[in-house]
Every structure is written in C-alpha cells, then in structure tokens.
Chains A and B, each alone.
Chain A
Amino acid sequence: MIIEINNFTCGYGSKVILNNIDLRVEKGEFVGIIGPNGSGKTTLLRGITRLARSFGGAVHFNGKDIKEIGFREFAQNIAVVSRDIPSTEMTVEEYVLLGRIPHYRQFQFFENGKDIEIAEHCMEITDTLKFRNKYISRLSSGEVQLALIARALTQEPVLLLLDEPTAHLDITHQVGILDLIKKLNREFALTVIIVLHDLNLAAEYCDRLVLMDRGAIKKVGKPEDVLNYRDIEDVYKTVVVVETNPLSSKPFVLIVPEEVRKQCKK
C-alpha cells in the first residue's frame, strides 16, 4: 500500500473542502481522479502533498504518516506535476535539473555528473532533449507539459501526482502525454495518481477511477464500473450516453445537448 487515506478531512483556512475521505492506492497502480469542477479533485492531491490543511484523519505514505515526513524526504519520493506553468526565464535543462535539489547533499550547490546523467536520461524518456536549451517561455503547451514531467522524473519519485496534464492540449498531445505516463507506470512501476477532466481519457488509461462529488468520494473502481450513465448523470447533472470503445473495450461517455434532449422527449 503506497497511499492510505483514512477518514481524512481537509480544506483551506477554516473552510472544509473534503470530508471523511477513504482511499487506498497500491504500488504500481494508475489511478484517475474524476469529477465535476469544484468537487475536490485538486484538493485531494493537495491533501496528499500537504498543501491543504488537515482537519482530521490521516494520510499514510508507505506506512508513514505524511505529517512525519521531512520536506526533502517527501520530494525524494513524491513528485508533483501541477497546473502552474513556470513563468521564469530558465532553459528546459536548467528547469529539469531543479528536480535534483531534493537529492543534493548538504552544502552541495552544484549538480555533479550523476545529477546531469539522470536529468539527461529523464529528458530522453520524455523526448525533451531536443529542446533542452530552449527557454520554457518559448515552448508550446505540449512541450511545457513534457518538460514538467521531465523535471518530476528527475526527482526519481516512486509516486507521481499529476493535476490535469492534458488540459489545453490537442488530441495528439493528450494521447502523447498519457502514453508516456502509462509507459512510465508500466516499465518503471511508477505509481500514478492523476486528475483528469476528460472522462474518456480517464477510462482508457486508468486502472481505477475515483469519482468525486461535492467533497466526497462517490465511487471507486474499474472504469467500466464507475462510468455508468446513472452515476455520471447523478454527479454531473447532465444527460450522457455511455458506450464501449470497440478496440479497447473501455467505456466512453458522450454528452447530449439540450436541443437533442428535448427532441428525444417528444
């Protein structure tokens, strides 16, 4: 059990966002968090990374309470790809190398040969080597996401948390990013917890889905169990049609515009 969330309540300031959450994630799993805007998906990630304020319950990472884990140790094991895009004048290589900071020894200020080797390896996996000397601000959205993932991998994590890495990307890049994460998950046994808005991407890539609704977990399970029209219509308050992808036999969700809904009723 890499992550064990027990009766966890968290939020910001004095406001409670998540109520009594229970969730277990096994090592090597690929878990997707889905749910409408404001349902607490990002807060769940931030609860794990300790950016949200805990009001009760506990989160354990590898059997250890996350409150007990030091900053450096945390970053050596858990890497986060958040939605913030770095706005600094840094090249991709400089940015990726920042991922080595948690591994620097005390009084080590400069990267050594091993750090550079790891950073280069991570840039190779993510296919960012070819623009290693470009400034982050000059990259396209897809390239920025790859650089963010390269930096996260440079931390050599066992758990990777991602917050909507495919937002604003075209389908080629969506598939590219998720294929990459899937490959990392399968080949390096990297545990992945990913927030996704797109239900179809979530269904295709995740081993398990966590459907969130108003600060609580509505349902957890395999995509074919979670993505049924009753639960989705209940949580998202809209009419959907759920079909099965003939090639992958995973469910996919179609939306129904209001006009069509009215015609159907007639």
Chain B
Amino acid sequence: MKKHVLNWRLSILLSLGFLFVASLYSLCSGSADIALKDIIPTLLKGGGTPEFSILFDIRIPRIMLGFAVGGSLSLAGVILQGMFRNPLVEPYTLGISGGAALGVALCIILGLHRISPDFAMPLFGFAGAFAVALPVSLINIRKGMVKTEGLLLTGVMISYISSSIVTLILAVSRTEDLHSIIFWIMGSLEEPSRALIFIICSLSLVCLGLSYLFSLDLNAFALGEEEAIHLGINIEKTKKILFLIASVLTGVSVSIAGIIGFVGLVVPHFVRMIAGYDHRVLLVISFLTGAGFLIFCDTLARTIISPVELPVGVITGILGGSLFVYALSRKFLMR
C-alpha cells in the first residue's frame, strides 16, 4: 500500500515540476530575452520598466491561459476516456469543438466580431459548443439512461456535419474573414481579455475539484458499467455529471483558445502509462501535465521562427503525435 502512495506523491511532484519548468521557460523566452535571474527582481520592482510589462501583461496572462486550457483539455480527456472506457476518446470526439468552430465561423462572416472583439468570438464559440452538446446528449439520454456508445457515434457524426458547414462557410467567405477563421480554428493562446482568463482559470480548477469527487466512480467504471453498479455507484447520475463537466471544460477552452488538438488525447494517455489506472491520482496529474505541456508548446510556437508566431495547434499536434507514437511503440516492445 505504502508503495503506491509514494509513487503518487512522486508523480504529482514530477508533474508540478514539469509545470514549473515550462512556466519559467515561457517567462524567459520571447522576442525580448529576459534572463532567469532577472525575473524576480523585475517583478518585485513593480511597473514602469518595459521588462515588467512584457512579463506582466504579455507572458504571465499567456501562461495562465495555457495552464487553464491545457489543464482543462487533458482533464476532460481523462474523464471521457475513463467514462467511455475507450482510450481513443478525446474532448473533441463529442462534437463540441466542431460546434464551437461553427459558432465562431458564423460570428466572423456575420462581422459580429468587430462589434465586441473580446467577447463576441468566445461567446459564439461557447454557444456553438453547447448547441452541439445539447442535442448530442438529449438524443442519447432515454428514460434517464445515458447510452454510452450512442453518445460517441452521434458526437462523431455531428462533428462531421459541423466541419462540413464550416468548410462551406470558408468556401464562400471573403479573404480576410477566411484568414481569421482559419487562425482561430488552429488555436492560439493570445487572449486580450484578463477577465476571460480569470474566468477560465477558476472554472478549470473548480471542475478539477468537482471531477475529483467522482474519482472512485471512474475507478469502478474501469471494470465496466454493470460492475460499477455492483459496487454501489449510481452510474447514470455519474455519467451525466461527468459528461457535463467535460463539456463545460471543452466548451470554455475551445471558445477562448480555439481548437488546440492532441492535448486532450495524448496527455491522458501518456500519464496513464506512467501513473497507472487510478483516477484519484490521474485526474490531478493529467491536469498539471496538460497545463505544462500546453505552456511548453505555446512557448515553442512563439519562439521557433520568431517574430512569426506558429499556431500552437501545429506544435501540439506534431510534438504530441510523435510522443504518442513513441510511447505506444515502447509499450508494445515491453510486452
């Protein structure tokens, strides 16, 4: 018994360390290089200096957003993979991202993003996400029972439908709109509104706490839904709440940061390979590792060919995908 508690502490410490290092790396790098040892003096000195505003107004908000979005997406991934007992499920499988993309695309071609640049796009993204999540869940909740396979299939189908409509919108939109839609879809951690950043940060932490209440239920789900019932779990209630938490996490992340792929699929997988099946530790480590991973990828995205900033989704895709293939091949070799 003692052994796994030790492993848990170690893995939590490791993921915290990774998050910390990634944040420091992100603080230091950029078009203006600020040395590691200068960070604390600059911040302590207070406002006024250009270094202070770079750190405080540009880099720290980005890190906070990376923390919230990365953490949210991989937390949603762990929850959904555990709930569906399917390692290939990710937050975007349920069609939420497709809906958000559709909402934002509509917002842009209607020109509404010019009215209130800070809030219109996230609002439409969120509305789109829920316009999809709602029918997906309503179709599959019959007589109080959630049909798990149906939820997946309808989610995938609705994704296809909404991405076709987005393609249609792209085909008929003007060049400058085209550019904004595509850049939004590829995802970015650039977010001017402090308020939104604070909202998503606190929301993601609240969702982490809420989902932790169901960590034992998720462990029991690993045995199958019927066995979970035998262990005294009200699976229908649990599934509904977890689906809601995952939808909120995904919907909010996507509507603020766009569709940043792979974090919600790869990080939970990777963490599960290292820390085992137990959700009492998986939920926390996934959140922390996802947060660190996205902060790290975002730093790469804005520094690799600076001053040009790459879409962060490209980096998470390439890095996450290669890590995943590597980890899988290792896993097969070990068998």
| Chain A positions near chain B (C-beta within 8 angstroms) | 49-51, 71-76, 79-80, 82, 84, 86, 88-90, 93-94, 98-99, 101-102, 104, 107, 109-111, 116, 155
Contacts and interface: CB of A to CB of B under 8 A. Distances in A.
A216 to B, nearest CB: 25
Contacts of A49: 229-230
A118 B134 CA distance: 44
B192 interface: no
B153 interface: no
Interface of B: 1, 4, 212-213, 215-216, 219-220, 222-224, 226-227, 229-234, 276-278, 280
B232 A101 contact: yes
B272 to A, nearest CB: 9
13 contacts: A71-B234, A72-B232, A82-B227, A84-B226, A94-B4, A98-B219, A98-B220, A101-B219, A101-B233, A102-B232, A107-B213, A116-B1, A155-B231
B275 to A, nearest CB: 11
Contacts of B227: 82, 84, 86
A109 B233 contact: no
Given A82-B230, A102-B232, A116-B1, A88 B216 contact: no
B232 A74 contact: yes
B160 to A, nearest CB: 29
A101 B230 contact: no
Given A88-B277, A89-B277, A90-B277, A51 B229 contact: yes
Contacts of B4: 94
B215 A84 contact: no
A109 B277 contact: no
A93 B278 CA distance: 13
A102 B229 contact: no
A73 B234 CA distance: 11
Contacts of A99: 231
A79 B230 CA distance: 7
A75 B223 contact: no
B280 A88 contact: no
Given A86-B227, A101-B231, A111-B1, 12 more contacts: A51-B226, A71-B232, A73-B232, A74-B232, A82-B227, A84-B226, A88-B223, A99-B231, A102-B232, A104-B216, A109-B216, A155-B231
A80 B216 contact: no
A50 to B, nearest CB: 8
Contacts of B278: 94
B233 A88 contact: no
A223 B306 CA distance: 83
A51 B232 CA distance: 13
A74 B213 CA distance: 21
B155 to A, nearest CB: 23
A109 B280 contact: yes
A90 B226 contact: no
A86 B226 CA distance: 11
A88 B232 contact: no
A241 to B, nearest CB: 39
A92 to B, nearest CB: 13
A90 B222 contact: yes
Given A51-B226, A71-B232, A82-B227, A101 B220 contact: yes
